[in-house]
């Protein structure tokens, strides 16, 4: 039992220790920067994943469905590391040789614009999209803010983004589709 003159000892761990992400699950999935040879798989994955969005909005001409392998290969060739303004960083999740998820982030001043988050349907609801969002946030250390958008009727997407700490900032109509913009300050908890 401590005597009346004792005091508590301060915790020696840094305050930021609580913000260190948990280690990834041992699921055989590796997150990495996309390479030029991933372009074909990413475009096919986008095509598969965005079909439901196209059906929901009655528009099969949305950008993720019309992007060519050559266009994406050009983005990957230009490269991005999360540090240079205007460059696009493309991350993938690989299981063996297969690209099973992807996301992009483009630094625009102090804002990282996140987009094209896709997860193979057979691997949804396992935390992979959340892991990719967290990874893009880690790899864009100069961003003060992260912003993304989705269709305003895309309930699953909105639920995911909200769970990851993003909050609605505005709405706009693009090509007859109401878009919801969401943002998150850098370092904000999920």
Domain boundaries, the chain: 27-143
| 181-184 long-range Cβ contacts below 8 angstroms, 24+ apart | 181/147, 181/148, 181/149, 182/147, 182/148, 182/149, 182/150, 182/158, 183/145, 183/146, 183/147, 183/148, 184/137, 184/145, 184/146, 184/147
Whole-number pLDDT of residue 81: 67
The average confidence (pLDDT) of the chain is 85
> pTM here?
0.82
pLDDT band at 30 (very low <50, low <70, confident <90, very high): very high
CATH architecture of 27-143: 3-Layer(aba) Sandwich (3.40)
Q: What is the structure's pLDDT at 18?
A: 41
**Per-residue pLDDT, 25:** 61
């Amino acid at each position: 039992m401590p005597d009346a003159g004792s005091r508590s000892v301060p915790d020696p761990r840094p305050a930021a220790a609580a913000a260190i992400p948990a280690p990834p699950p041992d699921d055989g999935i590796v997150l990495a920067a996309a390479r030029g040879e991933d372009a074909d798989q990413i475009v096919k994955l986008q095509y598969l994943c965005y079909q439901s969005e196209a059906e929901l909005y009655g528009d099969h001409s949305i950008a993720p469905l019309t992007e060519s392998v050559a266009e994406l290969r050009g983005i990957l060739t230009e490269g991005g590391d999360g540090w240079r303004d205007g460059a696009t960083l493309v991350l993938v999740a690989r299981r063996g040789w297969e690209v099973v998820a992807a996301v992009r982030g483009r630094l625009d001043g102090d804002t990282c614009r996140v987009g094209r988050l896709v997860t193979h349907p057979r691997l949804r609801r396992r935390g992979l999209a959340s892991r990719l969002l967290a990874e893009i946030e880690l790899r864009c250390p100069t961003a003060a803010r992260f912003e993304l958008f989705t269709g305003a009727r895309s309930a699953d997407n909105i639920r995911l983004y909200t769970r990851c700490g993003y909050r609605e900032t505005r709405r706009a109509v693009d090509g007859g589709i109401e878009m919801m913009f969401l943002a998150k300050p850098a370092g904000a908890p999920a």
